[in-house]
Each structure stands twice: as C-alpha cells, then as structure tokens.
Amino acid sequence: MAISIKTPEEIEKMRVAGRLAAEVLEMIGAHVKPGISTGELDRICATYITEQQQAVSACLGYHGFPKSVCISINEVVCHGIPSDERLLKEGDIVNIDVTVIKDEYHGDTSMMFIVGKPTILGERLCKITQESLYLALRLVKPGIRLRTLGKEIQKFVEAQNFSVVREYCGHGIGKGFHEEPQVLHYDADDQGVVLQAGMTFTIEPMVNAGDYRIRSMKDGWTVKTKDRSLSAQYEHTIVVTDTGCEILTLRKDETLPAVLVN
C-alpha cells in the first residue's frame, strides 16, 4: 500500500484547500432554511467556490456526478444529488459535503445542518455522529494502528444504539481526491497501516439511527438506509503531526473539545 507522506510545501497547499472547503460550509449555513431547494443550495455553493474562492469543485463531473456538492437528507446516507424539486422542511437533517480543489490540492469536509426545529432523534443522531468523529481525531498520532480509529468509533456509536455504515470510508487525500489508505469507521483489517507524521486523510463516519445496511438508488449515486432510518455524517481532512493531528478543514464556528486544541 503506497501511502504518500506530504512535504511541508504540500501540507501548506492542503491548508489552503481545507480552509476554502470549511468556508463553504460556514457560508451556506445561513441559507439552510425551510422552503429552499437543494438545487438552490448547490448553486450558491458553486458560485461561491468558483467566483469568490477562484477554486474548483472536485465533485462536479467526478465519475459523472452532476452537481458541485453532495446534499443528503434524512435517510440518505451519502451522495445525494441536489435537485430543484427537493425542498427542505422543518426537522430535516441535512449533510452538505464539499470538496474544493485549489492549486491542484484537495480539501474535503462535510457537516450536518438541522432545518428549523429538530426532532429529538435527529438532534441526538447528529450529536453522536460528530462526537464519534472528535473521538477519532483525539486518537490520531504517529505510531498507532489505523484500525484503532474505526474500532473506537464503532464501539462508541454502538453503545448509543446506533450503527456504522460499512460500505463507505475515509480516504487518503492530496493531489488525488481519493488516495491510500482507506479509513474504515469500524473494526476491520487495516493491512498493518501505522500512522506517520505527514499522512493526510479524511475521517468521515456515517452513522445510522437503525441498521447499518444500505441500498443504492437507480440514479447511480444516492445511497439510503435500507430500513429508512435517519443517517448522519461529519467529515474532516487532517494531517498527522509529530504529536497528534492538525484539522485542515476546521471551521471558525467549530468548538472543539479542549484535548484537540493545540
């Protein structure tokens, strides 16, 4: 498995791309309200990326994906295609997944938005999913096995009576959108990967309120929970440092647990 160790110059370019991706999520939050279409949210993001940031959406055209961001609502696990027909409604939980390319390097991040007043289950699912990501981020440091991250995410999530999606994972990232290694969010073979300073990858647990199994839609992209339960996801791009990790897609409005603050 060829896992690239990024140079300081490459990491600096990834900081720029990561910052831009985070800024898209910071910007779009004010627009996530009942009545707006996911198609309109996509257009707002696309305009911001291309005109304000002078950057490129990695999603647009990727293996034929037709939009600039993925927007996944309620029982949609991932890869939801924005549409002018799908209007947000009160209580929806919405994942917006953004990947920006700047100066050839990628920044990849996603977060959940709750439309209007949350449901008790929707709010709890989003909270636990975000906490599972932070749990993994706290574990990252040189010398630990990659599978430790997935093992601890799975243990934490299942203790809350939720489940972790198996078919999708985090990934190495840099000049390539998806590089080695695969970052699984449950306990599974990691082919012996040990974390080293300079590795860059995403952690992006997808957590279902019900069973972990999924089903793919006829559009070739949209993935839903098989039992129609709610699903949530949070994602950050990170670089492993000498003492832990640096979150390259950290949002300005994001309050991290103290242990993650350098």
Binding-site residue ranges for a divalent metal cation: 97, 108, 171, 204, 235
Residue 26 has phi, psi (to 5 degrees) of: -65, -40
Q: Is 18 helix (H, G, I), strand (E, B) or coil?
A: helix
* Sign of CA pseudo-dihedral 174, 177, 178, 183: positive
Binding residues: 79, 97, 108, 171, 178, 204, 235
Binding residues for substrate: 79, 178
Please state whether the peptide bond connecting residue 181 to the residue before it is cis, i.e. omega within 30 degrees of 0. Answer: yes
* Sign of CA pseudo-dihedral 124, 125, 128, 133: negative
Q: Which residue from 232, 78, 235 is spatially nearest to 164, judged by alpha carbons?
A: 232
Pinpoint the alpha helices (H) of the chain: 8-28, 38-47, 120-139, 147-159
